[in-house]
């Protein structure tokens, strides 16, 4: 159970100023929303937005949940580079959920047609550059640009009173550690003295690392659950939806 997923006590003792407890609470949130099965209705609904939308949301929840688990494990096992990758990928999942909510709201506000929101959901759920099964998806579907999805999350942040594009700012910073750029190349090395560079076999987290990573992951988790819950309620209140088994 993710509500039992904790940061190692030795790490907490070494970095008492980092509010790891605020991060750990999201494990319980994932457990509350976790579903083991999605069961289609026996009778095919008139439109499939409810079924396909719920499937997308549960897939997004699973991806978000696995990334959160991997993030905590990477901290406990001192996998510094992987922790940055996990947070960045989590931001992308939050952005994807924001993008879906944006179009759901526009649809229910009668600003766009059913065909338009259905097309967006199709791209979000099935878009990609590589497809494992050509028989299942005979025509390649281009994905939605990831930065477009990140910007969708910022639109909701702005609605909540945010004054700058925090999701884009965080995502761009995290990306520097995920690319072979300056920060990405030097994340596992450091200067010891003039002319001497040390390459650590097991690079340690610094207080700055934990401050950035924990605050960024909390931002992404907080908005993921808000956006995910908003999508969920819109579909439950307006569409025929499948049975979800806890």
Q: What is the pLDDT of residues 142-193, one digit of tens each?
A: 899 999 999 999 999 999 888 789 999 999 999 998 988 888 888 888 888 7
- What is the CB-side half-sphere exposure of residue 13 using CA atoms within 13 A? 3
> Average pLDDT in the 224-230 region?
98
**C-alpha to C-alpha distance for 168 and 91, rounded to whole angstroms:** 9
- Beta strands (DSSP E) in 9-140 are 37-39
Model confidence band, residue 137 (pLDDT cutoffs 50, 70, 90)? low
Three-state secondary structure call for residue 187:
coil
Is the pLDDT higher at 176 or at 45? Answer: 176
49 pLDDT higher than 80: yes
pLDDT at 135: 63
**C-alpha to C-alpha distance for 48 and 51, rounded to whole angstroms:** 5
pLDDT at 134: 61
Closest CA to 103 of 86, 85, 115, 90: 115
**Averaged confidence pLDDT in the chain:** 91
Structural contact between residues 8 and 217, judged by C-beta atoms closer than 8 angstroms: no
> Average pLDDT in the 206-215 region?
95
- Report residue 119 as tokens: 């097309």
Q: Is the dihedral of CA 200, 204, 206, 210 positive or negative?
A: positive
pLDDT at 131: 65
Ramachandran area for residue 204 (φ above 0: left; ψ -120 to 50: alpha; else beta): beta
Three-state secondary structure call for residue 43:
coil
> Average pLDDT in the 101-105 region?
98
> Average pLDDT in the 209-238 region?
97
**C-alpha to C-alpha distance for 6 and 72, rounded to whole angstroms:** 7
């Amino acid at each position: 159970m993710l509500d039992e997923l904790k940061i190692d006590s030795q790490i907490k003792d070494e970095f008492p100023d980092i509010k790891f407890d605020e991060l750990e609470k999201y494990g319980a949130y994932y457990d509350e929303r976790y579903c083991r099965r999605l069961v289609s209705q026996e009778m095919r609904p008139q439109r499939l937005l409810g079924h396909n939308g719920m499937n997308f949301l549960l897939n997004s929840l699973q991806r978000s949940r696995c990334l959160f688990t991997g993030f905590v494990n990477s901290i406990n096992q001192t996998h510094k580079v992987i922790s940055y990758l996990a947070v960045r990928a989590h931001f992308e999942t939050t952005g994807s959920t924001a993008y879906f909510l944006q179009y759901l709201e526009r649809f229910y506000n009668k600003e766009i047609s059913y065909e338009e929101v259905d097309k967006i959901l199709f791209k979000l759920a099935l878009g990609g550059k590589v497809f494992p099964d050509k028989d299942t998806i005979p025509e390649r579907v281009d994905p939605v640009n990831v930065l477009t999805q990140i910007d969708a999350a910022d639109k909701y942040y702005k609605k909540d009173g945010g004054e700058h594009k925090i999701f884009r700012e965080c995502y761009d910073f995290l990306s520097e550690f995920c690319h072979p750029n300056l920060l990405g190349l030097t994340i596992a090395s450091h200067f010891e003295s003039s002319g001497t560079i040390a390459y650590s076999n097991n690079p340690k987290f610094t207080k700055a690392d934990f401050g950035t990573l924990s605050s960024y992951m909390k931002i992404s988790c907080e908005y993921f659950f808000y956006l995910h819950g908003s999508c969920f309620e819109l579909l439950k209140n307006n569409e025929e939806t499948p049975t979800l088994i806890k």
